[in-house]
């Protein structure tokens, strides 16, 4: 019997690499002959994982984490027709059946058939259907023909894996944030959050032709990382308000498009930059986005948060000034990124060297055994995107 090892969530601030079950083509009583088993080539640590590891969700102890997966097919179920053993594939973090109404409309982040509790599923994630995570040596991926993006050439894929590994989540997610904020040629964009999603959204905005991309955060290393590929930055620990700092850069206190790459653990601005203020980003984006502009919200908001700042926040009720957004006719786009909408064109942009997202987010490759330390350093605000290489397949 083949063996497996994976990164297991044990409780707040406690993850460990353990021996785990080798995957089967099933989930509980559900047969998954439409699935494949992947040898994991690269699997990334995400800010979404951190929400769980910080104890800010109802994630159960024993959950194998990991929803950002690139792998090589080692076994295909009998119903898989177009994916073969040996293929190197990118796995969208959303699990989608390809058969339901939402999948047929391209809304693969809210598939109706993969999570009995609610629309939408993901690997290794709380409330997301119980699918086993991929921060492991091996993982099972269902509905393989529909979900997987096969790279055209295995050798080339391994050569460019630092960029391609970002196709499972943050590059499409950041790009989706920019697209849904209406970014196009000549746009002036503000991106809240200089974590990997914010930096991927900045790189995505540049690919879309933005004239000016401004990234805001409180962590100096992350702001420096944003400047390293041509972004302007706003330091939210300063007393000057966000609008005032945007005014200094743009010449007016508003932008065309804004993207929330922070989510519900947002901190306040200025003297409150060490205090959690979950609605700060949403409210400040309404303030600085021009009337008629759009706001992309990939940052995660939850329906249950045991660590919420008050009783309202604990159930996801935030003090949002919707009257302001209404008065300015803002568009808002929330939810999981439907990765499949973007991963193929973004793959082509990477393969044809039109974009280098790995440089933007500072991809840093680590072994599976180094993953618990990676979680700690990422939590401290390292300006890095940690990519776990469980089999030593990524050239250093």
Ligand X SMILES: NC(=O)c1ccc[n+]([C@@H]2O[C@H](COP(=O)([O-])OP(=O)(O)OC[C@H]3O[C@@H](n4cnc5c(N)ncnc54)[C@H](O)[C@@H]3O)[C@@H](O)[C@H]2O)c1
Residues that bind ligand X (CB under 6 A): 46-48, 50-51, 169-170, 173, 192-198, 216-219, 222, 236, 261-263, 266-267, 280-281, 298-300, 336-337, 381
SS3 (DSSP) at 125: coil
Q: Name residue 73's beta-bridge partners.
A: 38
Q: Whole-angstrom Cα distance, residue 17 to residue 317?
A: 35
Tell me how far, at minimum, the Cβ of 38 lies from ligand X, in Å.
Answer: 20
Q: Return the one option of Zn ion, ligand X, none that residue 192 interacts with (CB less than 5 to 8 A, by type).
A: ligand X
By CB under 5 A, which span of 110-118, 142-150, 152-160, 337-345 interacts with Zn ion? 110-118
* Strand-pair category, 63-64 with 331-333: unpaired
SS3 (DSSP) at 49: helix
Tokens of 191: 């991106």
Tell me how far, at minimum, the Cβ of 294 lies from ligand X, in Å.
Answer: 16
* Cα–Cα distances in angstroms (integers) from residue 130 to residues 272, 351, 388, in the given order: 37, 34, 22
Q: Whole-angstrom Cα distance, residue 23 to residue 1?
A: 11
By CB under 5 A, which span of 73-81, 99-107, 143-151, 339-347 interacts with Zn ion? 99-107
Tell me how far, at minimum, the Cβ of 360 lies from ligand X, in Å.
Answer: 12
Count of residues for the chain? Answer: 396
Tell me how far, at minimum, the Cβ of 193 lies from Zn ion, in Å.
Answer: 14
Q: Return the one option of ligand X, Zn ion, none that residue 100 interacts with (CB less than 5 to 8 A, by type).
A: Zn ion
Q: Whole-angstrom Cα distance, residue 279 to residue 286?
A: 11
Tell me how far, at minimum, the Cβ of 291 lies from ligand X, in Å.
Answer: 22
Sheet holding 232-235, edge to edge: 232-235, 212-217, 188-192, 255-260, 289-296, 331-333
Q: Return the one option of Zn ion, ligand X, none that residue 158 interacts with (CB less than 5 to 8 A, by type).
A: none
Binding of Zn ion by 212 (CB under 5 A) = no
Q: Return the one option of ligand X, Zn ion, none that residue 240 interacts with (CB less than 5 to 8 A, by type).
A: none
Burial 199-215 (b: 16+ CB within 10 A, else e): bbbbbbbbbbebebbbb
Which of 38, 53, 97, 141 is close enough to bind Zn ion by CB under 5 A? 97
Tell me how far, at minimum, the Cβ of 234 lies from Zn ion, in Å.
Answer: 24
CB nearer to Zn ion: give 130 or 182: 130
From the list 138, 140, 39, the residue with the least C-alpha distance to 80 is: 140
Phi, psi for 369 (deg, rounded to 5):
-65, -25
Tokens of 182: 């209406």
Tell me how far, at minimum, the Cβ of 380 lies from ligand X, in Å.
Answer: 10
> DSSP code of 278?
T
Q: Report the alpha-carbon angle 357-302-17, nearest 5.
A: 60
| 166 within 8 A of 200, measured Cβ to Cβ | yes
CB nearer to ligand X: give 71 or 177: 177
DSSP track, 167-186: GGTHHHHHHHHHHHTT--TT
Binding of Zn ion by 368 (CB under 5 A) = no
Binding of Zn ion by 103 (CB under 5 A) = yes
Tell me how far, at minimum, the Cβ of 9 lies from ligand X, in Å.
Answer: 15
The residue number with the shortest CB distance to Zn ion is: 46
Which of 48, 94, 147, 233 is close enough to bind Zn ion by CB under 5 A? 48
Q: Return the one option of Zn ion, ligand X, none that residue 180 interacts with (CB less than 5 to 8 A, by type).
A: none
CB nearer to ligand X: give 144 or 302: 302
Q: Return the one option of ligand X, Zn ion, none that residue 129 interacts with (CB less than 5 to 8 A, by type).
A: none
Tell me how far, at minimum, the Cβ of 93 lies from Zn ion, in Å.
Answer: 6
Q: Return the one option of Zn ion, ligand X, none that residue 366 interacts with (CB less than 5 to 8 A, by type).
A: none
| 47 within 8 A of 94, measured Cβ to Cβ | no
CB nearer to ligand X: give 79 or 253: 253
Q: Return the one option of ligand X, Zn ion, none that residue 80 interacts with (CB less than 5 to 8 A, by type).
A: none
Q: Return the one option of Zn ion, ligand X, none that residue 208 interacts with (CB less than 5 to 8 A, by type).
A: none
Which of 163, 169, 254, 287 is close enough to bind Zn ion by CB under 5 A? 169
Q: Name residue 140's beta-bridge partners.
A: 37
């Amino acid at each position: 019997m083949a063996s497996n090892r994976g990164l297991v969530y044990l409780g707040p601030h406690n993850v460990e690499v353990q021996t785990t079950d080798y995957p089967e083509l099933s989930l509980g009583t559900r047969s998954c002959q439409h699935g494949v088993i992947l040898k994991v080539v690269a699997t990334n640590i995400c800010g979404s994982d951190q929400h769980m590891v910080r104890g800010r969700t109802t994630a159960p102890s024993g959950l194998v984490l990991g929803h950002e997966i690139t792998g090589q097919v080692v076994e295909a179920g009998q119903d898989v027709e177009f994916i073969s053993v040996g293929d190197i594939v990118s796995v969208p973090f959303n699990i989608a059946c390809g058969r339901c109404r939402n999948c047929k409309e391209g809304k693969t982040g809210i598939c109706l058939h993969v999570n009995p509790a609610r629309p939408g599923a993901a690997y290794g994630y709380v409330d997301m259907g119980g699918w086993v995570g991929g921060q492991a040596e091996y993982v099972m991926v269902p509905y393989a023909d529909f979900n997987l993006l096969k790279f055209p050439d295995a050798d080339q894929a391994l050569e460019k894996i630092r960029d391609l590994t970002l196709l499972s989540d943050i590059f499409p997610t950041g790009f989706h944030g920019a697209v849904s904020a209406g970014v196009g040629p000549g746009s002036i964009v503000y991106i809240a959050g200089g974590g990997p999603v914010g930096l991927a959204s900045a790189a995505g905005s540049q690919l879309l032709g933005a004239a000016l991309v401004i990234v805001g955060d409180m962590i100096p290393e992350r702001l420096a990382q944003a400047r390293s590929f041509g972004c302007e930055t706003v330091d939210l620990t300063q007393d000057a308000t966000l609008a005032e700092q945007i005014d200094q850069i743009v010449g007016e206190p508003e932008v065309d498009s804004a993207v929330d790459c922070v989510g519900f653990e947002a901190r306040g601005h200025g003297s409150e930059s060490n205090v959690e203020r979950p609605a700060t980003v949403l409210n400040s984006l309404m303030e600085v986005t021009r009337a008629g502009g759009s706001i992309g919200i990939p940052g995660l908001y939850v329906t249950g948060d045991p660590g919420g700042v008050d009783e309202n926040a604990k159930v996801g009720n935030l003090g949002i000034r919707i009257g302001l957004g209404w008065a300015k006719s803002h568009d808002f786009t929330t939810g999981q990124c439907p990765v499949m909408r973007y991963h193929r064109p973004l793959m082509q942009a990477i393969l044809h060297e039109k974009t280098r997202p790995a440089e933007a987010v500072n991809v840093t490759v680590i072994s599976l055994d180094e993953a618990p330390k990676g979680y700690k350093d990422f939590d401290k605000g390292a300006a890095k995107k940690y990519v776990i290489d469980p089999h030593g397949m990524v050239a250093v």
